[in-house]
Amino acid sequence: LENTILDSTGHLKLCDFGFCKENTTYDDQLNTFCGTKEYIAPELITKKAFGYSMDWWCLGVFLFECLTSELPFPNSKDDLELYEKILYNTINFTKLMLSTTVKNLMYNLLKKNPQERLGCTLDDGEDIKKHKFFAEYDWEDVFNKKIKPEFVPTLDGPGDTRFFNKQLLAAPIVFSPTSEEVNYELQIE
């Protein structure tokens, strides 16, 4: 959830694309092990090439966390245990106090086999947009921010940070190296 923010109009925004691979297509297969460990898809853990399947898994984890206030594979003592849970544990959706429709959406986004995962067909995200959970949404209205959010933050101006985590605001700023700096370092070595 820390890579999502609400803008000043109450609309959700994704942020921190530090590991984002640009200009990929549906057919591209990647194999870089990166991302937030609690959100990593099974295919990454097993070192299989992946495409957008990773993104749809992450959406499933994101929805699960938003709607239940916990991660689908909680209470791991270390990364190895977490990865084993992601690979082998089954999520018990029946115990969740959520509608059948939203449980079905999360179940299909969190399928361990990417070929069976919602969104992993040639129709890509269109499969997800057609899911019953989103039946009432006009996607043009979503894209154009015509749907009124439930919560709109009241701000005193662009520098108002009252809704930000105070610890994160106090943390030192660490800049990522630019591609030119990385290339320069590689040339020196």
Domain assignment of residue 182, yes or no: no
Residue 9: inside a domain: yes
Angstrom CA distances, 115 to 29, 109, 119, 134, stand at 13, 11, 9, 22
In the chain, the N- to C-terminal Cα span, in Å, equals: 38
The pLDDT value given to residue 71: 92
Does some domain include residue 24? yes
Would 171 be classed as within a structural domain? Answer: no
Q: Which two tokens mark 14?
A: 């994704």
pLDDT at residue 60 tops 70: yes
pLDDT band at 16 (very low <50, low <70, confident <90, very high): low
Section 28-42 average pLDDT:
71
Q: What is the pLDDT of residues 133-170, one digit of tens each?
A: 999 999 999 999 999 999 999 999 888 988 888 888 88
Residue pLDDT, tens place only, 93-134: 888 999 999 999 999 999 999 989 998 887 778 999 999 999
Cα(83)–Cα(89) distance, integer angstroms:
10
Can you give the pTM of this predicted structure? 0.76
Count: domains in the chain? 1
Q: What is the CATH number of the domain that holds 115?
A: 1.10.510.10
Question: Which residues constitute the domain of residue 107?
Answer: 4-155
Q: What percent of the chain has a predicted confidence (pLDDT) above 70?
A: 79
Question: Widest CA span of the chain, in angstroms?
Answer: 58
Buried b (16+ CB within 10 A) or exposed e, 134-169: eeeeeeeeeeeeeeeeeeeeeeeeeeeeeeeeeeee
